[in-house]
Structure formats: C-alpha cells, structure tokens
C-alpha cells in the first residue's frame, strides 16, 4: 500500500471513529481489480476498499444505502472519499457460506443458510428492485442482448480459443444469437444481483450478510438462483440443486405468482449462460493472470455442463455450441485445461 493511500484511509477512519489506524492487513486478491484491507485501531475495525473505477464505486454506495433502507443485510458504509477512489465499510469478519460449505459439506445447517439466502434473494429481486435507482448501474442498466453477448464472447475468447477448441466461428455466433433470443423471452425488469454466490454471503453472529452487489442491474429472475445453486466450486449435489430451486420457487410464489414450469423452461438457459460466463472468468483470471484457484475450478464447471447436456436441460438447437462443449468434456477433468 502506498503512503498516500494509507494516509487517505486514516483520514476516513479517524473521521468515522476518532481513532488512528495501527494495523492494515490486505486481503488476498480475487476475481476483481478492487483492493480490500482490514483497518484496525485500538477499539474499532473496518474494511477499506480502493477501486479506481469511479462508476462502480458509485453503484456500490448507492445500492448499499438503498438496500439498508429496505432492511436488507448488507454492509454499512461508514465514510467515503470518491475523489480518491476509497471508502470504508462494516467489517463482517471472515466467514462465508462457501467456507462453511467446504468445511461441513451440504449439512443441515448449510442447507438452512442456503434457504435463508434464497429467501433474502427474493427480497432483493422484488422488494428492493421496485424503486432502485438503475441509472447508476455499471456497465449497463440491464442484462440485455449486449450484456449476454459480452458474456458469451468472454467465454469464446478467454476460454474456448485459449483451450484450443476448434469450432466454426459463424455457426457458433448463430448459436449465441439463438440462445440470447431465447433468454430474452423472459421478463427482465427485476433486480439482478449478478454475482449471487456463496463466496459473497458472509456469516456473522449466525446471520447472513450480502456483499459484492455493485454489478447489479435489471434482469431475469432466473439468473441469480442459477448463480447460487450452480456455483462451480460449491459443487452441490445435483439432487440438492433441484430441491433448492423448488424452495426458491415456493418463496417467489409468496410474492408474485409465476408458472413454475415456464420458469424452469428458461432457468436452465440461464444456468448455461452463467456457467459459460464463469468459464470465461476462469480462463481470464487463470490462464492470463496465472491464478491457480481459477484454473482448479474449471473441472467443476465442466461437470455442471456435462450434467446439463446428459439430462437434456437445454431444449434448443445449438449444434456448434454443443459440439464445442462436448469437445471440452473429452479433456481429462482431472487435468488443467491450460498449461
């Protein structure tokens, strides 16, 4: 950390609690360019965030205030200095739902937390989404044609091509358009969290808290439950994936009436697009940035694709895309795809 950044954090911290920081501990970098630090004084602790993307900072701060006003469990923002691209927020500790899952497996307690997360998700999507200021969304205000194509091309250029998979470029693009047109038959006017996964759900004093929602925008209801339930490294049993989906639908139907069969028709398309986006991220962060965690996650994502294809969950004609995915599945899943 530079001396200037340290001084700027100290000014914010002192303004908040009146004490000087005596210890700053950086967090291990993950899948974003944001930098996080634990700031500690004699009596207080907070999380300092440094992010040079001003629009993303504005989205997070606006959403955080809105969600808190709606009674949702998100971190409080204590102070911010957007001119220097920093803010300090509530320290929620180090325990995530993902950590608990890795330690205990899909235990009764973990299942209870997943149920609570899905219940809270409905509040984000329906209640908090009604009067949210979508003008601050970044990079787009809805998960529309452009957004989905970005994700598909992310997968193509950062995963398929670096992995050496052969495909017909035009036919793959035609399949992408078919998939996009199918997905956009759903209503996309709900709040879409975008990265609703167990790593972004903190557990403090037996209560769930939700973080990393700055990428939120308008979108389909199906996307976020797909993100949580089909998270690659969570590696939930396939039978439990279906149970969790049905629990979510029960909670959703308490707020708005939907056709469960119609919902599931599009749901697995959103599962697929989420997995492809994730693979693009694994290729970019793993292959280009050489972060082993992302490379080691690839087999779990491919196993999810294998199940979708074997169980005929994608009821669309996507010949070139399916062919490319089947070529990926022929690679030994116990080995890293990228050297």
For residue 316, what is the domain's CATH number? 3.90.1200.10
Whole-number average pLDDT of the chain: 95
Whether residue 167 is contained in a domain is answered as yes
Q: How many domains does the chain fold into?
A: 2
Task: Report the distance separating Cα 198 and Cα 220, nearest Å.
Answer: 20
For 310-329, what is each residue's pLDDT tens digit?
A: 999 999 999 999 999 999 99
Whether residue 183 is contained in a domain is answered as yes
Whether residue 339 is contained in a domain is answered as no
Per-residue pLDDT, averaged over 231-258, amounts to 97
Domain stops at, among 71, 90, 109: 90
Q: Tokens for 30, please give them.
A: 């993950």
* Domain co-membership, 42 together with 103: no
- The domain of 276 spans 97-329
- B/e letters for 323-336, b = 16+ CB within 10 Å, e = fewer, are bbbeebeebeeeee
* Domain co-membership, 122 together with 46: no
* Domain co-membership, 53 together with 126: no
Whether residue 319 is contained in a domain is answered as yes
* Domain co-membership, 226 together with 318: yes
**pLDDT at position 168 over 80:** yes
Whether residue 198 is contained in a domain is answered as yes
- pLDDT tier for residue 334 given thresholds of 50, 70 and 90: very low
Domain stops at, among 48, 66, 90: 90
Please tell me the predicted confidence (pLDDT) of residue 31. Answer: 67
* Domain co-membership, 150 together with 276: yes
Whether residue 337 is contained in a domain is answered as no
* Domain co-membership, 166 together with 247: yes
* Domain co-membership, 271 together with 177: yes
Token pair 């994700």 is found at 151
Per-residue pLDDT, averaged over 256-276, amounts to 97
**DSSP state letters, 74-101:** -PPEEEEEGGGTEEEEE---S-BHHHHH
* Domain co-membership, 160 together with 291: yes
Q: What CATH number is given to the structural domain containing 23?
A: 3.30.200.20
**pLDDT at position 288 over 90:** no
Contact yes or no for 123/70 (Cβ under 8 A)? yes
Per-residue pLDDT, averaged over 269-297, amounts to 89
Task: Report the distance separating Cα 63 and Cα 103, nearest Å.
Answer: 31
* Domain co-membership, 133 together with 223: yes
Domain stops at, among 66, 90, 114: 90
Q: What is the pTM of this model?
A: 0.95
Task: Report the distance separating Cα 300 and Cα 293, nearest Å.
Answer: 12
Please tell me the predicted confidence (pLDDT) of residue 333. Answer: 47
Whether residue 335 is contained in a domain is answered as no
For residue 140, which of 62, 56, 83 has the smallest C-alpha distance?
56
Task: Report the distance separating Cα 117 and Cα 243, nearest Å.
Answer: 14
* Domain co-membership, 164 together with 299: yes
* Domain co-membership, 150 together with 287: yes
Cα distances from 10 to residues 7, 23, 26, 61, in angstroms, run 5, 11, 15, 20
Whether residue 336 is contained in a domain is answered as no
For 125-160, what is each residue's pLDDT tens digit?
A: 999 999 999 999 999 999 999 999 999 999 999 999
What does R_g of the chain's alpha carbons equal in angstroms?
20
* Domain co-membership, 161 together with 283: yes
For residue 106, which of 300, 236, 243 has the smallest C-alpha distance?
236
């Amino acid at each position: 950390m530079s001396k200037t950044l340290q001084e700027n954090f100290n000014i914010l911290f002192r303004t908040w609690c009146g004490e000087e920081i005596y210890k700053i501990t950086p967090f291990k970098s993950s899948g974003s360019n944001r930098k996080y630090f634990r700031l500690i004084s004699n009596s207080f602790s907070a999380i300092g965030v440094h992010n040079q993307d001003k629009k993303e900072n504005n989205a997070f701060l606006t959403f955080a205030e809105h969600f808190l006003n709606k009674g949702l469990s998100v971190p409080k923002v204590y102070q911010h200095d957007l001119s220097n691209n920093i803010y300090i927020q509530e320290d929620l500790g180090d325990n995530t739902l993902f950590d608990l899952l890795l330690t205990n497996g899909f235990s009764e307690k973990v299942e209870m937390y997943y149920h609570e997360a899905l219940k809270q998700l409905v509040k984000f999507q329906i209640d908090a989404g009604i009067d949210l200021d979508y003008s601050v969304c970044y990079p787009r205000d809805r998960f529309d044609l452009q957004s989905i194509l970005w994700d598909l091309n992310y997968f193509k250029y950062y995963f398929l091509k670096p992995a050496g998979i052969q495909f017909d470029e035009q036919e793959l693009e035609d399949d992408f358009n078919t998939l996009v047109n199918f997905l956009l038959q759903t209503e996309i006017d709900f709040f879409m969290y975008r990265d609703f996964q167990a790593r972004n759900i903190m557990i403090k004093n037996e209560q769930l808290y939700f973080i990393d929602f700055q990428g939120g925008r308008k979108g389909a209801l199906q996307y976020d439950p797909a993100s949580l339930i089909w998270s690659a490294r969570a590696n939930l049993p396939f039978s439990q994936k279906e149970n969790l989906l049905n629990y979510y639908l029960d909670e959703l139907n308490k707020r708005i009436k939907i056709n469960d069969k119609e919902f599931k028709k599009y749901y697995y398309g959103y599962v697929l697009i989420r997995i492809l986006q994730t693979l693009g991220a694994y290729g970019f962060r793993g292959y280009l940035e050489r972060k082993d965690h992302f490379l080691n996650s690839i087999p779990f994502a491919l196993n999810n694709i294998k199940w979708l294809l074997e169980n005929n969950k994608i009821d669309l004609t996507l010949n070139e895309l399916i062919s490319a995915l089947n070529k990926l599945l022929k690679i030994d899943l116990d080995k890293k795809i990228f050297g």
